[in-house]
């Protein structure tokens, strides 16, 4: 189904087309455990209606998929959106499903991406260990971690989050309320900047 989110503003028809100032297009993978806010992030920033494969959680998934509060839907294939940053770069966002039984899709979605933005929830930080292992095993993408600051989530310094996740010291860790467009865009910009640094370091090696 195609969804722009129940609280999304009406779409400006002009925004459906790439601005003439756009010079490059970049594919970005948005990953994370179930219910951490991947769909929320893409919905917050996308300038086009989000292609969403959200489906209602059914009784058949009891005992198979996790239950999370009042959440009644889940992504079963991918979310897709687009945002233009700096006027010259279009980011094409591919959000992965969070349930483990759909993780086989990740390798295909990662093909051609410049990096992966890993969304984490500090209330369930342990759920992110397998996500990072999955990325390391099936991709070679530069990674940036964004802590989604849910209202009731504990706040931790980004260095503490990096240590808790056992990330390399050069892995960027940022935090923000991913319902807010500006903060979500800043997280994506941090990933792209990191991917550029990694690519340049590889060229210089």
Domain membership of residue 4 (yes or no) is no
**Of the given ranges (12-16, 83-87, 124-128, 164-168), which has the lowest mean pLDDT?**
12-16
Whether residue 2 is contained in a domain is answered as: no
In the chain, what is the straight-line distance between the N-terminal and C-terminal CA atoms, in Å? 45
Query: Does residue 23 fall inside a structural domain?
Result: yes
**pLDDT above 90: percentage of residues in the chain:** 62
Q: pLDDT tens digits, residue range 155-171?
A: 999 999 999 999 999 99
Question: Percentage of the chain with pLDDT > 70?
Answer: 78
Structural contact between residues 108 and 139, judged by C-beta atoms closer than 8 angstroms: no
Which CATH number belongs to the domain containing residue 158 in this structure?
3.40.50.300
**Mean pLDDT computed over 26-55:** 90
Our measurement of the distance from residue 89's CA atom to the centroid of its chain's CA atoms, rounded to an integer in Å, reads: 18
Q: Look at residue 119 and tell me if it is in a domain.
A: yes
Q: Is residue 8 part of a domain?
A: no
Average the pLDDT over each of 104-113, 149-158, 159-168 and give the range with the smallest value.
Answer: 104-113
Q: How high does pLDDT run on average in the chain?
A: 84
Name the domain count of the chain. 1
* Residue 105, phi-psi category: left (phi > 0), alpha (psi -120 to 50), beta (remainder): alpha
Residue 1 lies in a domain: no
**Strand, coil or helix: what is 170?**
coil
In a domain, 100, yes or no: yes
| Higher pLDDT, residue 180 or 9 | 180
Has residue 20 got a pLDDT over 50? yes
Is 36 contained in some domain?
yes
Domain that holds residue 109: 13-204
* pTM (global) more than 0.85: no
């Amino acid at each position: 189904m195609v969804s722009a989110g129940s609280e999304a503003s009406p779409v400006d028809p002009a925004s459906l087309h790439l601005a003439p100032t756009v010079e490059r297009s970049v594919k970005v993978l948005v990953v994370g455990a179930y219910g951490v806010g991947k769909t929320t992030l893409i919905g917050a920033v996308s300038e086009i209606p989000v292609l969403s494969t959200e489906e209602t959680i059914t009784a058949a998934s009891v005992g198979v998929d996790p239950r999370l509060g009042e959440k009644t839907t889940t992504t079963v294939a991918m979310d897709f959106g687009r945002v233009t940053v700096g006027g010259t770069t279009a980011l094409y966002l591919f959000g992965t499903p969070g349930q483990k039984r759909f993780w086989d899709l990740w390798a295909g979605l990662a093909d051609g991406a410049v990096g992966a933005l890993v969304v984490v929830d500090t209330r369930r930080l342990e759920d992110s260990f397998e996500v990072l292992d999955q990325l390391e095993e099936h991709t070679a993408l530069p990674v940036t971690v964004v802590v989604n600051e849910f209202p009731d989530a504990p706040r931790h310094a980004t260095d503490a989050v990096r240590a808790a996740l056992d990330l390399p010291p050069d892995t960027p860790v940022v935090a923000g309320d991913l319902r807010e467009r500006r903060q979500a865009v800043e997280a994506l910009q941090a990933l792209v900047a990191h991917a550029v640094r990694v690519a340049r370091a590889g060229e210089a090696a």
